[in-house]
Amino acid sequence: MVLPFLTLYLTVDRRFPASTAGVALTIYGIAAIIIAPISGRLTDRLGGLRIIKFSLFLSGFILLVFPFANSLISILFMTGLWALVNEAFRPPSMSIIGDLAGPAQRKAAFALSRLAINLGMSIGPVIGGFLAMRSFKLLFYADGSTALLSGLLLVLVPWRSGESQRYSIETSQAGSPSNDSVAAVPYSSVLKDRRFLYFLVAMIPVELVFFQSLAAMPLFLVRDLHLTEAGFGMLLAINTVLIILIEVPLNAAMGDWPHRHSLALGALLVGLGFGGLVFGGGVYWVAATVVVWTFGEMILLPASAAYVSDISPPARSGGYMGLYTMGFSIAFAIGPLLGVQAMERFGSSSVWIGALICGCVTSTMIWLSAKERA
């Protein structure tokens, strides 16, 4: 609830200028970049479940006290601190999902995780909007309370799974990870995996394209195509509905596809979808482009997470996922800015042609890469 309304909270409730809200979001993005590899490394050392509990409990507490920060410095400090503990959740959660699912079901498992996220992103802002009409502080209290309840759920509910020794989850089938097993694969091995580093570099262009939906795309649709804000919201709803209805069965059906095929197709569809906006057109054409890049998203993101999970050594899954999620954090920090700047200087067509090129670059790099082992 809080992050989508953070700009409104700072400008409407706290009466700071819009530039201050931009600084707060930048701080959040920088903190997310910093914490991703650290969280991944801690996941391998301490166990993913411990990091998730730490993230949920501490972020819940920070959200509960956030409204009491009054000065600009304290608000920016709280934003950065919240970002650190909140974003620490991502690497261990992805590492655990990949481990629980196993190679045969990883694409469908990550798709199911994205389904849960999209359901939350569909319901949370709606409820948050009603809460904000009464008091912005209620956003923080509600968001903080749900984080604490989630952490409490993980404490109270016993975990019975076939999870491997990399996590410190108590089961009758696997014990706690030993320091010797973790140390056997040094963390520096993550940075020496050329195949993984090549994959991270190949993903950067298409990751930059994804975040144009936050900046360049709404500006183009409302300012250039003269759609209403409500119309833009309805178009984005197509993305959410398709993900909820189709993504899990789609990835279950594609479970046997080689990673290279899924990744290349997904990146190409993302590029084609955003690139299609270069032709402008009416609302139906724009809706068609949303459908195209949504299918690309539904194929690419679960497949990319599954690929990272497959190639990571058991003792270093967190480290791999940390660097993987850091790539998206970097794209979040610079992608919208690049898109808007290009639109203002060279026109909207440059953004969508660039999006098509970026999608094709990622698709080609992945297709031309060496075939994966499994």
Residues 102 and 25 in one domain: yes
Q: What are the pLDDT digits (tens) for 276-318? A: 999 977 889 999 999 999 999 999 999 999 999 998 887 788 8
What is the residue range of 337's domain? 188-368
Looking up tokens 């409730």, which residue turns up? 13
The predicted structure's pLDDT at residue 335 = 85
Residues 114 and 78 in one domain: yes
Question: Taking the model in full, what pTM does it have?
Answer: 0.80
Q: What are the pLDDT digits (tens) for 134-156? A: 899 999 999 999 999 999 999 99
Checking if the pLDDT of 35 tops 50, the result is yes
Residues 214 and 132 in one domain: no
Residues 148 and 254 in one domain: no
Residues 150 and 256 in one domain: no
CA 12 to centroid of chain Cα atoms: 27
183 domain residue, yes or no: no
How many domains in the chain?
2
171 domain residue, yes or no: no
Pair 26, 334: CB distance under 8 Å: no
**Measured at the alpha carbon of residue 84, what is the angle toward residues 296 and 150, in degrees to the nearest 5?**
75
Residues 29 and 127 in one domain: yes
Pair 203, 362: CB distance under 8 Å: yes
pLDDT interval class at 164 (50, 70, 90) = very low
Mean of the pLDDT values across residues 340-352?
89
Residues 117 and 81 in one domain: yes
Residues 335 and 225 in one domain: yes
Q: 162 or 278, which is more confident? A: 278
Pair 271, 355: CB distance under 8 Å: yes
Residues 212 and 155 in one domain: no
Residues 204 and 316 in one domain: yes
- CATH for 257: 1.20.1250.20
Mean of the pLDDT values across residues 100-115?
87
The predicted structure's pLDDT at residue 186 = 59
Pair 311, 193: CB distance under 8 Å: yes
Q: What are the pLDDT digits (tens) for 118-131? A: 888 778 877 888 88
CA 347 to centroid of chain Cα atoms: 28
Q: Residue 135: phi, psi to the nearest 5?
A: -170, 130
Distance CA 355, CA 363 (A): 12
Alpha helix segments (H runs only) across 135-212: 137-156, 179-183, 188-191, 194-210
